[in-house]
C-alpha cells in the first residue's frame, strides 16, 4: 500500500529506529524543547478498477480547496487551507498532551520560525539531530502520525447515472515520538497505536470531524488522536 502525504512538494523526514523504546527522561533544567519535524502519513485506499481511480485523501482536500479558493480569494485571502486546519487540529492535540500531561516544555510553533525549516503550511520540517545540536534548545523532537486502514469494505450505490463508491474501514492511528538532546543523545523514543473498533466511512467528513448521518459511525481522526495521546501519556507519565 502506498502512503499519501498531505503536504505538497516537500520532503518529509520520518522517524527511524522507533522500534527501540527509550523511556522518557526530562531533566529538571530543561525549559526549551522544540518540535523539529512533524510528519503526517496516510495510507491510500484504492477503489475497484471499474470505478476508474482511487480515493486519494489529498485529492478530496484539493477539490474543496480549489473551489473555496476561487470563491473566497477576493473576500478572504488569509483563510486557512482545509488540510492545514486538519493537520493543525491533530498537532495541537499532541502538543497539549506532551506539554500539559507529560510536562515537556514544548515551544510554540511560530516562536522559532527562523530557527527551523518549515513547510509551506507552517509545520516544522527539519532534521531533529541537526536542530538539537544547534545549541539553541535543550532538546528537539520528531513526531510522526500515521493512519492506516488494515481492514476495509467497499460498497456502491447508484442514483440516476451517478455511481458512488464508499470505503468503510476500522482505521488505525500510530504515533511515534523521538527526542534528542543537544549532545545528540536520544532521551526518549516511543511508539503507540490505537485502532477503531467500529466501521467508519473514509471521506473528508471523517478527516475533518464533520458530523453527518450514516448507518455506520465511529471515531473521527481527531478522536483517534486523542486516544493515542492518552495511551502515550499513561505509558510515560509515572516513569
pLDDT given for residue 130 in this prediction: 95
Q: What is residue 141's three-state secondary structure?
A: strand
Confidence band, pLDDT 50/70/90 cuts, at residue 64: very low
Task: Report residue 89 as a C-alpha cell.
Answer: 487540529
Task: Report residue 60 as a C-alpha cell.
Answer: 478530496
pLDDT given for residue 117 in this prediction: 92
Residues 6+ apart with CB under 8 A from 161: none
Nearest to 172 by CA among 61, 42, 17, 47: 42
Instruction: Quick: pLDDT tens for 29-58.
Output: 999 999 999 998 888 766 555 444 444 555
Task: Report residue 134 as a C-alpha cell.
Answer: 544547534
Residue with cell 477503489: 47
What is the span of the domain harbouring residue 146?
3-236
Q: Are 224 and 173 in contact (CB under 8 A)?
A: yes
Domain count, the chain: 1
Nearest to 145 by CA among 186, 193, 83: 193
Residue with cell 520540517: 125
**Is the Cα dihedral 27, 234, 136, 144 positive or negative?**
positive
> What angle do helix axes 82-96 and 221-236 make, rounded to 10 degrees?
20
Task: Report residue 225 as a C-alpha cell.
Answer: 488522536
Q: Please state the φ and ψ torsions of residue 235, each to the nearest 5 degrees.
A: -75, -30
The lowest-confidence range among 77-91, 167-181, 203-217 is 203-217
Confidence band, pLDDT 50/70/90 cuts, at residue 9: very low
Average pLDDT rounded to a whole number, residues 59-87: 52
Residue 9, Cα to own-chain centre: how many angstroms? 17
**Is the pLDDT higher at 6 or at 190?**
190
Instruction: Quick: pLDDT tens for 78-106.
Output: 444 567 888 898 999 999 999 999 999 99
**Is the Cα dihedral 75, 78, 79, 83 positive or negative?**
positive
Quick check: 222 pLDDT over 90?
no
Single pTM value for the model = 0.75
pLDDT given for residue 24 in this prediction: 92
Stated as kind and residue range, the H or E segment containing 133 is: helix 128-133
CATH number for position 161: 3.40.50
Quick check: 162 pLDDT over 80?
no
**Is the pLDDT higher at 171 or at 161?**
171
Nearest to 128 by CA among 208, 15, 209, 7: 15
Cα separation, 133 vs 228, in Å, equals 29
**Pairing between strand 172-181 and 162-169?**
unpaired
Q: Are 39 and 12 in contact (CB under 8 A)?
A: yes
Amino acid at each position: 500500500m502506498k502512503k499519501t502525504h498531505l503536504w505538497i512538494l516537500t520532503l518529509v523526514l520520518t522517524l527511524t529506529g522507533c522500534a527501540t523504546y527509550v523511556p522518557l527522561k526530562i531533566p529538571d533544567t530543561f525549559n526549551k524543547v522544540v518540535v523539529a519535524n512533524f510528519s503526517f502519513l496516510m495510507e491510500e485506499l484504492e477503489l475497484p478498477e471499474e470505478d476508474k481511480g482511487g480515493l486519494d485523501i489529498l485529492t478530496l482536500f484539493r477539490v474543496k480547496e480549489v473551489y473555496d479558493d476561487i470563491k473566497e480569494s477576493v473576500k478572504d485571502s488569509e483563510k486557512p487551507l482545509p488540510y492545514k486546519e486538519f493537520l493543525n487540529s491533530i498537532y495541537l492535540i499532541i502538543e497539549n498532551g506532551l506539554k500539559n500531561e507529560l510536562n515537556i516544555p514544548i515551544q510554540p510553533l511560530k516562536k522559532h520560525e527562523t530557527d527551523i525549516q518549515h513547510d509551506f503550511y507552517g509545520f516544522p520540517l527539519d532534521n531533529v539531530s541537526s536542530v538539537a545540536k544547534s545549541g539553541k534548545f535543550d532538546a528537539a523532537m520528531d513526531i510522526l502520525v500515521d493512519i492506516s486502514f488494515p481492514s476495509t469494505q467497499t460498497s456502491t450505490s447508484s442514483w440516476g447515472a451517478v455511481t458512488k463508491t464508499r470505503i468503510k474501514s476500522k482505521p488505525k492511528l500510530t504515533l511515534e515520538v523521538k527526542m534528542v538532546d543537544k549532545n545528540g543523545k536520544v532521551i526518549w523514543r516511543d511508539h503507540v497505536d490505537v485502532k477503531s473498533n467500529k466501521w467508519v466511512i473514509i471521506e473528508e467528513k471523517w478527516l475533518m470531524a464533520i458530523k453527518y448521518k450514516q448507518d455506520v459511525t465511529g471515531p473521527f481522526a481527531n478522536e483517534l488522536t486523542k486516544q493515542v495521546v492518552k495511551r502515550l501519556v499513561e505509558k510515560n507519565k509515572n516513569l
